[in-house]
Amino acid sequence: MKMADGATIVRRNRPGTKAKDFCRWPDEPLEEMDSTLAVQQYIQQLIKRDPSNVELILTMPEAQDEGVWKYEHLRQFCMELNGLAVRLQKQCSPSTCTQMTATDQWIFLCAAHKTPKECPAIDYTRHTLDGAACLLNSNKYFPSRVSIKESSVTKLGSVCRRVYRIFSHAYFHHRRIFDEFEAETYLCHRFTHFVTKYNLMSKENLIVPINEEENAAPGESEA
């Protein structure tokens, strides 16, 4: 990309770049992004600009394929959730959290095994993110980043349900870690709005009270 004065912008972090200067290049309109990864780059650009502006980040550009838009957002969620998983390792271990739970009412079975079974919460987190990465990078279901078959798009809902459990475990059992991560990333806010906007999860499964805190009147619940 070239600036108005003719200078070329290199959108790459050069060797020796300090962390505070990472990705400090100007924004670029989606229609000017000449890459098969344009949608991913555009989403990341919006997040970098202001992670709290959830509505803007989730607003799909005109003429954008909805299946690709949902797919790229889910890929981005899974990438960012690895950051929460790393923080959880400080407190969440097979000895402290022997099951993947959220409150005393929800116990989740891990689908990474031949027959779904209970896993320690941190193992469930790793298995779920690994499984999501394998599916979302599958050449069988997602061979293209610019066009996705509807039969493949239907698989996104099950991924959403499984990765959401990482948020719920963190919220109910590691609240300080959850709050610190959320204050920086707004990731659970964005994910909750995303799955609600595109009907990828039922409201009764959204047990982290994000919508309730933002929108509900006293006495109401969105969970």
Q: Which residues of 90-99 are buried (b: 16+ CB within 10 A; e: fewer)?
A: eebeeeebee
Distance CA 132, CA 166 (A): 13
Find out whether 174 is annotated in a ligand binding site.
yes
Residue with tokens 């293209």: 144
* Whole-angstrom distance, CA of residue 40 vs CA of residue 30: 10
Contact present, 164 and 170 (Cβ < 8 Å): no
**Closest to 38 measured CA to CA, from 16, 19, 65, 13:** 65
DSSP letter at 108 equals E
**Is residue 92 part of an annotated ligand binding site?**
yes
Selection from 9, 192, 165, 194 nearest residue 84 by Cα = 165
Annotated binding site: 92, 97, 169, 174
Annotated binding site for Zn(2+): 92, 97, 169, 174
